[in-house]
């Protein structure tokens, strides 16, 4: 082999090696970029899930208006903004201070945005709810669309929480760092438009809002989670059923306090909440129960929750029996194959949440007895 041929061979080897290094570097950059995107998506998903859980928890545990939601934050203060019985807007930042999550941000360092169905706002007075009830038959008024503009199967939903992602196009997020989240209060600088659907406005028609969701592109990167009716009403029915049952020890309200005072559980009621003699199954006689605080009782009544409540009492625990029965072996109510002195269910039909008043075949001292 000549020197020239040898040099040519070495050059080819070097060239192959350089090309290989370049290909490896390109592949590593692509893998790293993909890993970074996956991690960013994960961080945003975690923030959205945390915000959703906090919002549902705040709503379900509201002391006197369970089921309501706070107004959006339109002042960049971390708190909801309202005027009288109205939110200043149905769209704004998530009020992190109000729901106890503080300055929660997505992977791009942006605070989350939020929209609610107006009928769920917590600033509507309790007395006004008689003509504007909020219970498990109340539907949300938000519609979510896919990238083609077709409604998603989850519709309608009660609320949406939105990660705005990084700015793009003409979006300008400059502003005061002294505010809760920094930046400014112009929704269009954070939320995007796709196929004529503007997430910054919610495309309002009366109380109805519409938002569009799609895979991220260079001009659209809004990410959503939503709160459906069942996601809110499932834990809410449980909370209300437990309020009607009453606390364990000491019995300070509900059916357990009635038992503590009378030694028996009440008859079932009529449509007006009064006991109906000899009726062991039907509506709850809520007028004979103490529900604390009293504002919660008014809330349940004005919003029609009692009309969605059913009650049964076992024959050994109804009025007229010897009182203070200590076991539940006969004359009980069977619930899913288990015996219990009484049961209250909230919600109606297959969606009802049933709560046994005490555990089956147990000594009533923990159920409680007086």
Per run of 10 residues, the mean pLDDT along the chain (length 370 residues) is 55 51 50 66 93 97 97 96 96 96 93 97 94 93 96 96 96 90 95 96 95 94 95 94 85 90 94 94 95 94 95 93 82 83 80 72 53
The pLDDT of residue 157: 97
- 3-class secondary-structure state, position 261: helix
Look up residue 301 and give its two tokens.
Answer: 């009544």
pLDDT for 370 equals 43
Q: How far is CA 2 from the centre of its chain?
A: 80
Q: Read off φ and ψ for residue 313, nearest 5 degrees.
A: -130, 140
C-alpha 157/C-alpha 271 separation (Å) is 31
Cβ–Cβ under 8 Å, residues 159 and 142: yes
CB proximity list for 83: less than 8 A, separation 6 or greater: none
Q: Which residues on neighbouring strands pair with residue 340, listed in sequence order?
A: 333
Helix (H, G, I), strand (E, B) or coil at 278: coil
SS3 label, residue 141? coil
H or E stretch at 116: strand 113-116
Beta-strand relationship, 142-145 and 91-93: unpaired
**Which strand (E) or helix (H) includes residue 37?**
helix 3-60
Contact 283, 306 (CB under 8 A): yes
- Is the Cβ–Cβ distance between 271 and 283 less than 8 Å? yes
Residues 100/82, Cβ–Cβ less than 8 Å: no
pLDDT at 27: 47
Enumerate the domain spans of the chain.
Answer: 43-227, 233-366
Q: Are strands 142-145 and 353-356 parallel, antiparallel or unpaired?
A: unpaired
Q: Tell me the C-alpha distance between 265 and 284, whole Å.
A: 11
Please name the helix (run of DSSP H) or strand (run of DSSP E) that holds residue 344, with its range, or none: strand 342-346
- In 3D space, the residue among 60, 103, 61, 56 whose CA is nearest the CA of residue 79 turns out to be 103
The closest alpha carbon to 158, from 96, 48, 259, 70, belongs to 70
Whether the Cβ atoms of residue 239 and residue 61 lie closer than 8 Å to each other: yes
Taking only the tens place, the pLDDT of each residue in 111-149 is 999 999 999 999 999 999 999 999 999 999 999 999 999
pLDDT at 296: 96
């Amino acid at each position: 082999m000549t020197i020239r041929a040898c040099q040519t061979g070495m050059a080819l080897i070097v060239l192959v090696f350089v090309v290989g290094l370049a290909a490896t570097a390109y592949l590593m950059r692509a893998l790293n970029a993909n890993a970074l995107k996956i991690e960013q998506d994960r961080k945003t998903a975690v923030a959205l899930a945390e915000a959703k859980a906090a919002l549902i928890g705040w709503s379900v545990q509201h002391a006197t208006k369970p089921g309501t939601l706070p107004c959006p934050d339109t002042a960049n203060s971390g708190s909801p903004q309202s005027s009288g019985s109205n939110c200043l807007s149905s769209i704004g930042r998530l009020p992190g201070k109000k729901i106890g999550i503080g300055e929660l941000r997505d992977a791009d360092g942006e605070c989350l945005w939020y929209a609610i169905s107006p009928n769920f706002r917590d600033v509507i007075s309790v007395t006004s709810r008689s003509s504007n009830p909020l219970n498990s038959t109340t539907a949300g008024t938000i519609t979510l669309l896919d990238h083609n503009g077709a409604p998603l199967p989850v519709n309608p939903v009660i609320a949406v929480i939105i990660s705005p992602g990084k700015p793009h196009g003409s979006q300008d997020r400059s502003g005061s760092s002294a505010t809760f989240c920094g930046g400014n209060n112009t929704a269009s600088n954070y939320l995007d438009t796709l196929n004529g659907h503007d997430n910054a406005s919610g495309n309002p028609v009366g109380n109805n809002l519409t938002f569009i969701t799609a895979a991220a592109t260079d001009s659209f990167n809004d990410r959503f989670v939503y709160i459906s009716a069942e996601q809110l009403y499932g834990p809410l029915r449980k909370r209300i059923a437990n309020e009607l049952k009453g606390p364990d020890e000491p019995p300070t309200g509900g059916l357990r306090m009635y038992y503590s005072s009378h030694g028996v559980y009440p008859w079932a009621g009529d449509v007006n909440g009064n006991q109906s003699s000899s009726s062991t199954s039907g509506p709850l006689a809520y007028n004979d129960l103490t529900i604390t605080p009293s504002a919660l009782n008014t809330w349940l009544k004005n919003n029609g929750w009692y009309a969605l409540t059913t009650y049964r009492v076992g024959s050994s625990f109804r009025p007229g029996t010897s009182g203070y029965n200590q076991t539940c072996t006969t004359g009980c109510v069977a619930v899913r194959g288990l015996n219990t002195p009484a049961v209250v269910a909230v919600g109606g039909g297959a969606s009802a949440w049933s709560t046994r008043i005490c555990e089956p075949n147990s000594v009533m001292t923990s159920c409680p007895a007086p």
